[in-house]
Amino acid sequence: MMGTKTERLSATLADITRAAGILRSGGLVAFPTETVYGLGGNARNDDAVAAIYEAKGRPSFNPLIAHLPSVEAAKRYVSWSDQAERLARAFWPGPLTLVLPLLEGHGISPLVTAGLDTLAVRVPAHSAARALLSAFDGPIAAPSANPSGRISPTSATHVRAGLDGRIEAILDDGPCTVGLESTILGLFDRPTLLRPGGISADEVAEVLGAAPLTRNGAEAITAPGQLQSHYAPSSSVRLNALDRRGDELLLGFGDMDCDVNLSQSGDLIEAAARLFAALHELDQTGRPIAVAMIPQYGLGAAINDRLRRAAAPRNI
């Protein structure tokens, strides 16, 4: 991705149409929301989502928020509830993200959900974001448009400083008005505040009639903006394997004899895009999994981060 010529686009109809076309072709577009600028990719395209991680240098595959143009669009991907309806009426479009169970046949890349069976969804209020989402007519996965670990961007200038040459385009429509990431609320057994943001817990409580629970930092990851990861196969996982032992199945990388290959050509973007699907495929056999060595650079660092967590001892 490095060395890409980054187009400068504005919030005109022609440029928004151009940005939507880039997204449909699998490219990345930074765009403004009322909170911060997001780095958008087609949430249904594995390669596009993997490219988001590559461009950001994101250290692990944390869940991403799927941005949508309307409540009706969100209902195509997640199981809606009365609580979701009340919150959406109160705060959408706006800086509130809801985490809800995925519907069957959702088509969302597993890299967006980080292997979870839930999806974080938001309808942003920014006019340019809404225009782009309508023109694209699908879910756009978008973390903040900055290199991982850097200050979140609230202007196109901030985005250019960190990502110029790494992404296809930046849609510039001036500074963000909120400047703070969205509040993330998990609608599980009890509404749970997963990340504070532009909507306060008191405002949420006023709509729901009770204060949301607060997430315990030691719990497994359930949403964007949290540090721990969660996905692990039910079978044991052995890393840096050179061959199979016993009845193991081998998850390979590069030109090698294996049962499932993340990338025959050794392409880390392809490997990242295939990671979760490959682990699921092997896990369904019930046999132990051995994983070949993955280079520890670029997206390889993120792949290895996920694999280390998958191989870690589990609490039974």
Predicted confidence (pLDDT) per residue in 153-195, tens digit: 989 999 999 999 999 999 999 999 887 789 999 998 899 999 8
Give the residue numbers spanning the domain of 244.
Answer: 237-311
One-letter amino acid identity for 196?
Answer: P
- At 239, list the tokens: 């890393």
Look at residues 148, 179, 214 and tell me which one is the last residue of a structural domain: 214
Contact between residue 71 and residue 88 where contact means Cβ atoms under 8 Å apart: yes
Same domain, 245 and 159: no
Same domain (yes/no): 145, 288: no
Place of tokens 């193991």: 248
| Position 226 pLDDT exceeds 50 | no
- pLDDT value for 225: 44
Are 15 and 100 in the same domain? yes
Whether residue 11 is contained in a domain is answered as yes
> Does residue 227 sit within a domain?
no
Task: For residue 253, give the nearest of 233, 273, 226, 280 by alpha carbon.
Answer: 273
Q: Name which of 1-5, 107-111, 295-299 the model is least confident about.
A: 1-5
Rounded-to-integer distance, Cα 194 and Cα 217, Å: 9
Q: Answer yes or no: do 176 and 295 share one domain.
A: no
What is the per-residue pLDDT across 65-93, written as a single tens digit (0 to 9) for each? Answer: 999 999 999 999 999 999 999 999 999 99
Does the structure show a pLDDT above 90 at 221? no
Classify burial at 315, counting beta carbons within 10 Å of its beta carbon; exposed 0-12, middle 13-18, buried 19 or more. Answer: exposed
Q: What is the pLDDT of residue 314?
A: 60
pLDDT band at residue 224, thresholds of 50, 70 and 90?
low
221 part of a folded domain: no
Q: Which residue has better confidence, 105 or 179? A: 105
Which position has the higher pLDDT, 62 or 225?
62
By C-alpha distance, which of 132, 129, 126, 161 is closest to 146? 161
* Position 231 in a domain: no
Q: How many CB atoms lie within 10 A of CB 43?
A: 29
Contact 290, 248 (CB under 8 A): yes
**One domain for residues 148 and 295:** no
Do the domain assignments include residue 188? yes
148 and 253 fall within a common domain = no
Q: Is residue 316 part of a domain?
A: no
Position 40 pLDDT exceeds 50: yes
Let me know whether 189 and 257 are in one domain: no
| Overall domain count for the chain | 2
Q: What is the largest CA-CA distance in the chain?
A: 61
- Give residue 99's pLDDT band: very low, low, confident or very high (50, 70, 90): very high
Do 197 and 164 reside in the same domain of the chain? yes
194 plus 264 within the same structural domain:
no
112 pLDDT exceeds 70? yes
Residues 193 and 297 in one domain: no
Mean pLDDT value across residues 23-34: 97
Q: What is the pLDDT of residue 113?
A: 92
CB 176 within 8 A of CB 32: yes
Which whole-number Å values give the CA distances from 239 to 130, 167, 215, 288, in the listed order? 43, 32, 31, 11
Residue 224 resides in a domain:
no
Q: Are residues 118 and 249 in the same domain?
A: no
DSSP E strand boundaries for the chain: 7-10, 29-32, 37-42, 65-67, 96-101, 118-122, 140-141, 169-172, 183-187, 191-195, 213-214, 237-241, 249-252, 260-261, 289-292
The CATH code of the domain that includes 120 is 3.90.870.10
Q: Is the pLDDT of residue 17 over 70?
A: yes
Residue-level pLDDT at 52: 96
pLDDT interval class at 46 (50, 70, 90): very high
Q: pLDDT exceeding 90 applies to what percent of the chain? A: 69
Kindly report whether the global pTM for this prediction surpasses the value 0.75: yes
Task: State whether residue 223 is helix, strand or coil.
Answer: coil
Same domain, 144 and 55: yes
How confident is residue 1, by pLDDT bands cut at 50, 70 and 90?
low
Question: Which pLDDT value is given to residue 177?
Answer: 85
Q: H or E segment at 15?
A: helix 13-24
Instruction: Look at residue 77 and tell me if it is in a domain.
Output: yes
6 pLDDT higher than 90: yes
For 92, residues 6+ apart whose C-beta sits below 8 A from its C-beta are 71, 122, 123
